[in-house]
């Protein structure tokens, strides 16, 4: 059962990400946060994890450490820990892309089950969107990403490998991510 805490987090997420759109589209960013929260709940996650899913990008994209402090005060240390664990950078300016992604991948094996659940749900939704967008716009899609096709494919393949090695994740989410990333690789023409 979801309580007023979830509602409060939903309003907070909407406020923090107001006006923000998904990369390369006119789709409101809140759709991603709702999708990630839905994936978490559908996989058996609890309300704290669903709130973490709603707020998982608030620190990385909208305020850094100050935002993390605010989330801890508003939603508690467990939610803040999930959000921090799902963030690849707290500082501004952000470190270089490859450094951030390698650091994020390196921390995942030690991450809590809650962080891993929100993380895999986030990456699964992103991968689904990449595959769908590729069907619409083809190779032009890769220009949306800092490192183009090569870096994006590498990152999602590495994420899948790391998640597959974890015993702390629902197998169904990892299986789905692996299937979607496989489709992404096939679309891109990389075997």
Q: Which residue do the tokens 């801890």 mark?
A: 72
Instruction: Set out the domains of the chain in order of their start, with CATH numbers.
Output: 4-188 (1.10.3210.10)
Q: With beta carbons less than 8 A apart as the criterion, state whether 24 and 44 touch.
A: no
Cα Dmax for the chain: 47
Give the predicted TM-score (pTM) of the model: 0.95
pLDDT for residue 80: 97
Query: Tens digits of per-residue pLDDT, 92-141?
Result: 888 899 999 999 999 999 999 999 999 999 999 999 999 999 999 999 99
Q: Which residues contact 157 (CB under 8 A, 6 or more apart)?
A: 181, 185
Position 191 pLDDT exceeds 80: no
Q: Which of the four pLDDT bands, split at 50, 70 and 90, describes residue 190?
A: low
3-state secondary structure of 21: strand
């Amino acid at each position: 059962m979801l309580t007023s805490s979830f509602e409060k987090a939903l309003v907070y997420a909407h406020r923090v990400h107001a006006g923000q759109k998904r990369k390369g589209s006119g789709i409101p960013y809140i759709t991603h946060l709702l999708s990630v929260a839905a994936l978490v709940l559908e996989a058996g996650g609890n309300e704290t994890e669903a709130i973490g899913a709603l707020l998982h990008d608030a620190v990385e994209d909208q305020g850094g450490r100050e935002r993390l402090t605010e989330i801890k005060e508003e939603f508690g240390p467990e939610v803040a820990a999930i959000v921090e664990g799902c963030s690849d950078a707290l500082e501004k300016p952000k470190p270089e892309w490859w450094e951030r992604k390698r650091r994020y991948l390196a921390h995942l094996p030690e991450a809590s089950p809650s962080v891993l659940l929100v993380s895999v749900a986030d990456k699964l939704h992103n991968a689904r969107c990449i595959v769908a967008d590729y069907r619409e716009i083809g190779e032009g899609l890769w220009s949306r990403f800092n490192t183009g096709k090569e870096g994006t494919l590498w990152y999602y393949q590495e994420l899948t490998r790391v998640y597959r090695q974890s015993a702390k994740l629902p197998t169904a989410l990892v299986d789905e991510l692996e299937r979607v990333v496989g489709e992404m690789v096939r679309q891109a023409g990389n075997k």
